């Protein structure tokens, strides 16, 4: 399932990485932020919306490790952020899609306004297709279901593909084996 | 047709930007790739059932949606008219002190010209979908339902953006997109209210499903504190799971993507970034949709999922674009929607652009018979307003066999001085625009019925009746003669029922169903009088009439008593190549020894391929007759003839022909073959005019000398 998901997500223009443990994934993300020049100045922040990966981790320590990384996601901070991190609940293998209940506004701000969206997903939380996802997520429980596949794109000028028109121009998917089966 | 309309077609043909863009996209190939591994027929049957059933219960579903969405905290307003939608939004803006609005793409808001009304009241509404924003800056309407600014070049976009952002800009598309991102980002943050449409509205849960690639709908539904969704009633589906097949097909059909970058399913208000809850208003707009649902023919059009694939494959749309072919809603389906959302009269000119080739019907994920419904519009216009005098007289003459035949015989004599090698070199002035790209054939000196009497046929047990149609009778009688000779070789005797006349398709295609029904009725008796195994046609258009449409036309015109006879006739009618293919398989026709292998490229006439489904048989029959078939690009794309279309829309017809000729010549085959005299007139005339070495031939002509003599095997 992972290989199929990875192939489709890459086909949609994503970067896909996979780690066994939360610690490894965390290291990757922090290093990624440093490499991308995250710093404590408007335009270079990183915002991280509340996610299960952070469970039991002191975010203050992380903020100290990477200056500019914020765990409070406001409208203004998201606007001034380069990178946004959110955790998605499911992945759809046959289209390379990520799915999330984005009812909480910080999830939408961090994934919609930033240049780079880092999306975390449990490797075990992949389903084969959309009908399978619909058995997992339902409007009766989830007020704002967001399906995300690849970066923001347009072909509205002469049908030429351009990436990053309103939303992120990069989508990095971090699959974490240890995060598996965390969802109801 | 109004003069201004002819001029707008002419102008559009001078600007081939849109056509070029569609060609570079190569939609048919990219679409097919997106659908790999998916049973498209099963998928679209499912969608047609879901949407068709919803169309039958619009009122109940709207009430169910209202109840469900209100239970979740949304405010739902049902609006019958465009004015009611606008009044609601204006009152809301007034009440909440809204000055600035951002919009994601909504065709429903285009339909009611919302932006204009908002501006009148001092409210600034900015489009955020890139294409919509470009069109807004250009003060235009969308030319395509999915890609609104498809008609504009990057240079034009650069000019518009330069003016808007007051800075010099290059023509680099990537850079232009970033300029738009920056300019629009500020607008999201400043807006008091966001307006969206919805691609699907789920009644069971009160959910809006919004599909985008750019991510603008996520901004529009997140950053302003008020969200208004304008939803046409046809977007309703009963259940949550009904959304899956639509979401599976929509991106593939619309943009050849497996899925769009973003799909948002919004149920009730969610949190704003200041901790308040979203003020969510959903307007369910009728604007004649329930009326449409009550129409037994047009209800089907509500199955549309607005993918616009009917535009992408339309040979006319690619030439003239949506500003000519459409009115807000564009292309084939746009013509139909316009007739309802505006009024029938609005489509008077537009409907005439459809050549009826059927390409759109083949790929429609809502399984809508778009050309069939456009023909219905034509029929209703013809019934309501009557056909123009000259057209009506001409059609009446065609239906009167004696007058028509006498006239054509006279014409054949009159045209002799203009003929050279079977083609008219110099036409009278009034036909000159028709001969610019294509020579026209002469009327043959003797019609087929005269030649037929002179053919000496063997007496055989198997007998078939031949329905020649007007074109073989008067223009290409040699095709009829060849057909008789080929079938004689298989031990089949051909009868020619004298009472036959025009098949009625020209009348049908003009919307004159009553005259088409009369034509069918005239023909049934002579064709059914003989005790024959098959009725053979060698013209794809006549095949459409005999094999398929006559029973429908007779039924539609209240001549039910003739329907069983017409159905019986339909079941015994075969196309010439269909029969030859069978005879080769039965070894009743075998290739003569020592035949040279020749090459041919086969043009699928629209009527043969898409109306009666004959496209494998002619290729197999040609191969069996010792021909190598070299396929051309777009072998089943319309040649532009379309019966009277070539006379009514000469410029469009010739533009379609030019493309066809390029594809035909590229194969380097010795012959172009088509089983339709109309296509042969068009393509053969075009090849002649170009001075091409390639000859256009009917399969019967190519096969006339290829088979061994066989004794009667019965």
Whether the pLDDT of residue B413 is over 80: the answer is: no
Together in a domain, B286 and B429: no
Does the distance separating the beta carbons of B272 and A105 come in below 8 Å? yes
For residues B21 and B572, the model is more confident at B572
Domain boundary residue, one of B290, B310, B340? B290
pLDDT at B94 over 80: yes
**What is the least distance, in Å, from the CA of A140 to any CA of chain B?**
7
**Which residues span the domain enclosing B584?**
419-703
Q: Would you say residue B679 lies in a domain?
A: yes
Residue B222: which of A105, A138, A154 has the nearest Cβ?
A: A105
Last residue of a domain, one of B247, B270, B290: B290
In the CATH hierarchy, which fold is given to the domain comprising A2-179?
A: Rossmann fold (3.40.50)
Q: What pLDDT shows up at residue B345?
A: 83
pLDDT at B249 over 90: yes
Residue A29, pLDDT above cutoff 70: yes
Q: Which of B202, B272, B197 is nearest to B228 (CA)?
A: B197
**Do the Cβ atoms of B189 and A8 come within 8 Å?**
no
Higher pLDDT, B19 or B662: B662
Of the residues B290, B323, B358, the one at which a domain ends: B290
Question: What mean pLDDT do residues B312-321 have?
Answer: 93
Question: Shortest Cα distance from B95 to chain A (angstroms)?
Answer: 25
Paired residues of A90 in beta bridges: A99
| pLDDT confidence tier of residue B530, bands split at 50, 70 and 90 | confident
pLDDT at A180 over 60: yes
* Per-residue pLDDT at B4: 84
Q: What is the pLDDT of residues B341-385, one digit of tens each?
A: 988 888 888 999 999 999 999 999 999 999 999 999 999 988 887
A140 part of contact set with chain B, CB < 8 Å: yes
Q: Which residues of B touch A143 (CB under 8 A)?
A: 72, 266-270
Q: Which residues pair with B226 in a beta bridge?
A: B193, B279
Find the residue in B nearest to A13 (Cα): B261
Q: How far is B52 from chain A (nearest CA, A)?
A: 21
Of the candidates A94, A143, A166, the beta carbon closest to that of B267 is on A143
Split into its structural domains, chain B has a count of 2
pLDDT score recorded for residue B436:
65
- Which chain B residues contact residue A49 at CB under 8 A? none
Interface of B with A in 37-76 (CB under 8 A): 72
In a domain, B523, yes or no: yes
Q: Name residues 1-30 of chain A within 8 A of B (Cβ).
A: 8, 11-12
Candidates B222, B71, B63; CA nearest to A139 is B71
Domain boundaries, chain A: 2-179
Give the nearest partner residue to B218 out of A108, A143, A154, using CB atoms.
Answer: A108
Q: How far is A183 from chain B (nearest CA, A)?
A: 19
Q: DSSP H helical segments within B173-304, as ranges?
A: 173-190, 216-222, 243-255, 289-294
Q: Which of A92, A98, A155 would you mutate first to test chain B, the one with the most B CBs within 10 A? A: A155
Is the separation of the CB atoms in B685 and B423 below 8 Å? yes
Q: Is the pLDDT of residue A30 over 70?
A: yes
Q: Residues B606-632: pLDDT tens digits? A: 999 999 999 999 999 999 999 999 999
Question: CB–CB of A158 and B25 under 8 A?
Answer: no
Q: Considering only B211-220, B269-278, B318-327, B480-489, which range has the smallest mean pLDDT?
A: B318-327
Question: Are B174 and A112 in contact (CB < 8 Å)?
Answer: no
The model's confidence at residue B510, banded by pLDDT at 50, 70 and 90, is confident
Is residue B430 over pLDDT 50? Answer: no
Residues of chain B in contact with residue A157, where contact means CB-CB under 8 angstroms, are 130, 134, 149, 152, 154, 157, 173, 176-177
Phi, psi of B142 (to 5 degrees): -60, 140
Is residue B559 helix, strand or coil? coil
Task: Please give the model's pTM, rounded to 2 decimal places.
Answer: 0.91
- pLDDT given at position B640: 93
Distance of CA B110 to the CA centre of its chain: 23
- Whether A61 contacts chain B with CB within 8 A: no
What's the pLDDT tens digit per position in B642-671? Answer: 877 887 888 899 999 999 999 999 999 999
Rg (CA), chain B: 28
The mean pLDDT value for A113-134 works out to 96
Kindly determine whether residue A143 and residue B129, on different chains, have CB atoms separated by under 8 Å.
no
CB atoms within 10 A of CB B549: 23
pLDDT at B392: 74
Closest partner residue to B214 (CB to CB) among A79, A147, A154 is: A154
Could you give the percent of chain B with pLDDT greater than 90? 79
Q: How far does B247 lie from chain A, in Å, by closest CA?
A: 9
- Residue A109: DSSP 8-state: H
CB-CB: which of B149, B216, B273 is closest to A157? B149
Tell me, yes or no, if A117 comes closer than 8 A to chain B by beta carbon.
no
B435 pLDDT band, cuts 50/70/90, is low
The residue among B157, B205, B214, B224 with the most chain A CBs within 10 A of its CB, best to mutate, is B214
Inform me whether the pLDDT recorded for B139 exceeds 50: yes
Q: How confident is the model at residue B421 (pLDDT cuts 50, 70, 90)?
A: very low
Question: What pLDDT was estimated at residue B412?
Answer: 63
What are the angstrom distances between the C-alpha of B205 and each of B57, B64, B66, B692? 16, 9, 9, 64
Nearest CA among A70, A97, A72 for reference residue A83: A70
Residue of B437 and B126 predicted with greater confidence: B126
**Alpha-carbon distance A177 to nearest alpha carbon in chain B (angstroms):** 25
Read off the CATH number of the domain in which B69 is found: 3.40.50.10420
The lowest-confidence range among A50-59, B45-54, B132-141, B577-586 is A50-59
Nearest to B686 by CA among B425, B476, B434, B439: B439
């Amino acid at each position: 399932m992972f290989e199929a998901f990875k192939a489709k997500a890459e086909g949609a223009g994503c970067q896909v990485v996979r780690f066994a443990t939360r610690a490894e994934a965390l290291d990757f993300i922090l290093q990624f932020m440093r490499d991308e020049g995250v710093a404590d100045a408007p335009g270079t922040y990183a915002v991280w919306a509340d996610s299960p990966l952070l469970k039991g981790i002191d975010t203050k320590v992380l903020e100290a490790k990477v200056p500019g990384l914020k765990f409070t996601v406001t409208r203004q901070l998201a606007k001034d952020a380069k990178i946004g991190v959110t955790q998605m609940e499911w992945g759809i293998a046959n289209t390379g899609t990520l799915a999330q209940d984005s009812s909480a506004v910080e999830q939408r701000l961090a994934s919609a306004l930033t240049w780079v969206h880092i999306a975390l997903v449990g490797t075990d939380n992949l389903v084969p297709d959309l009908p399978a996802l619909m058995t997992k997520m339902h409007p009766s429980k989830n007020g704002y279901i967001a399906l995300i596949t690849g970066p923001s794109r347009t072909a509205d000028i002469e049908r030429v593909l351009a990436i990053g028109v309103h939303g992120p121009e990069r989508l990095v998917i971090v699959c974490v084996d240890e995060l598996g089966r965390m969802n109801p | 047709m109004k003069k201004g309309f002819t001029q707008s077609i002419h102008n559009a043909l001078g600007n081939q930007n849109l056509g070029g863009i569609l060609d570079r996209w190569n939609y048919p190939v990219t679409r097919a790739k997106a659908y790999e591994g998916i049973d498209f027929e099963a998928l679209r049957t499912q969608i047609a059932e879901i949407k068709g059933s919803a169309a039958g219960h619009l009122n109940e579903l709207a009430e169910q949606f209202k109840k469900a969405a209100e239970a979740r905290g949304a405010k739902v307003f049902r609006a019958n008219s465009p004015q009611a939608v606008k009044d609601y939004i204006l009152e809301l803006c007034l009440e909440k002190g809204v000055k600035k609005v951002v919009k994601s793409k909504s065709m429903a808001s285009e339909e009611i010209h919302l932006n204009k009304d908002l501006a009148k009241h001092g409210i600034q509404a900015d489009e955020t979908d890139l294409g919509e924003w470009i069109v807004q800056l250009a003060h235009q309407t969308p030319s395509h339902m999915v890609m609104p600014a498809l008609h504009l070049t990057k240079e034009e976009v650069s000019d518009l953006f330069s003016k808007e952002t007051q800075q010099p800009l290059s023509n680099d598309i990537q850079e232009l997109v970033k300029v738009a991102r920056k300019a629009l980002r500020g607008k999201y943050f400043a807006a008091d209210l966001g307006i969206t449409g919805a691609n699907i509205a789920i009644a069971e849960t009160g959910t809006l499903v919004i599909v985008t690639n750019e991510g603008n709908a996520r901004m529009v539904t997140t950053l302003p504190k008020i969200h208004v969704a304008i939803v046409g009633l046809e977007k309703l589906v009963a259940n949550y799971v009904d959304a899956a097949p639509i979401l599976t097909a929509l991106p593939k059909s619309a943009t050849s993507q497996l899925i769009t970058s973003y799909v948002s399913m919004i149920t009730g208000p969610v949190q704003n970034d200041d901790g308040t809850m979203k003020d969510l208003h959903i307007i369910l707009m009728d604007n004649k949709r329930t009326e449409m649902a009550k129409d037994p023919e047009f209800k089907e059009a509500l199955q549309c999922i607005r993918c616009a694939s009917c535009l992408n494959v339309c040979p006319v749309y690619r030439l003239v674009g949506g500003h000519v072919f459409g009115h807000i809603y564009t292309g084939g389906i746009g013509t139909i929607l316009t007739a309802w959302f505006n009024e029938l009269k609005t489509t008077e000119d537009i409907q005439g652009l459809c050549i009826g080739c059927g390409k759109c019907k083949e790929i429609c994920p809502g399984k809508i018979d778009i050309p069939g419904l456009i023909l219905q519009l034509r029929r209703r216009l013809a019934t309501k307003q009557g056909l123009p005098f000259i057209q009506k007289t001409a059609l009446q003459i065609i239906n009167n066999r004696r007058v028509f035949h006498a006239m054509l015989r006279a014409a054949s004599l009159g045209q002799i001085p203009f003929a050279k090698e079977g083609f008219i070199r110099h036409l009278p002035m009034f036909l000159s625009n028709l001969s610019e790209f294509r020579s026209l054939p002469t009327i043959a000196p003797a019609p087929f019925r005269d030649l037929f009497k002179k053919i000496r046929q063997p007496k055989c047990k198997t007998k078939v009746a031949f329905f020649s149609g007007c074109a073989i009778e008067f223009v290409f009688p040699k095709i009829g003669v060849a057909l008789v000779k080929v079938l004689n070789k298989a031990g089949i005797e051909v009868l020619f029922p004298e009472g036959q006349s025009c098949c009625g398709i020209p009348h049908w295609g003009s919307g004159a169903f009553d005259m088409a029904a009369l034509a069918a009725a005239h023909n049934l008796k002579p064709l059914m009088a003989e005790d024959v195994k098959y009725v053979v046609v060698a013209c794809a258009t006549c095949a459409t009439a005999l094999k398929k449409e006559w029973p429908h036309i007779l039924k539609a015109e209240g001549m039910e008593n003739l329907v069983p006879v017409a159905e019986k006739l339909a079941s015994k009618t075969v196309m010439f190549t269909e029969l030859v293919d069978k005879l080769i398989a039965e070894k009743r026709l075998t290739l003569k020894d020592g035949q040279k292998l020749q090459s041919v490229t086969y043009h699928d006439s629209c009527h043969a391929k898409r109306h009666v489904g004959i496209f494998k048989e002619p290729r197999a029959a040609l191969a069996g007759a010792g021909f190598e078939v070299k396929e051309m690009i777009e072998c089943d794309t319309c040649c532009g003839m379309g019966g009277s279309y070539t006379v009514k829309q000469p410029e469009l017809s010739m533009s379609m022909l030019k493309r066809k000729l390029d594809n035909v010549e590229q194969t380097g085959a010795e012959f172009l073959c088509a089983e339709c005299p109309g296509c042969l007139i068009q393509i053969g005339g075009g090849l002649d005019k170009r001075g091409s070495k390639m000859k256009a031939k009917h399969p019967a002509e190519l096969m006339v000398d290829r088979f061994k003599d066989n004794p009667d095997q019965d």
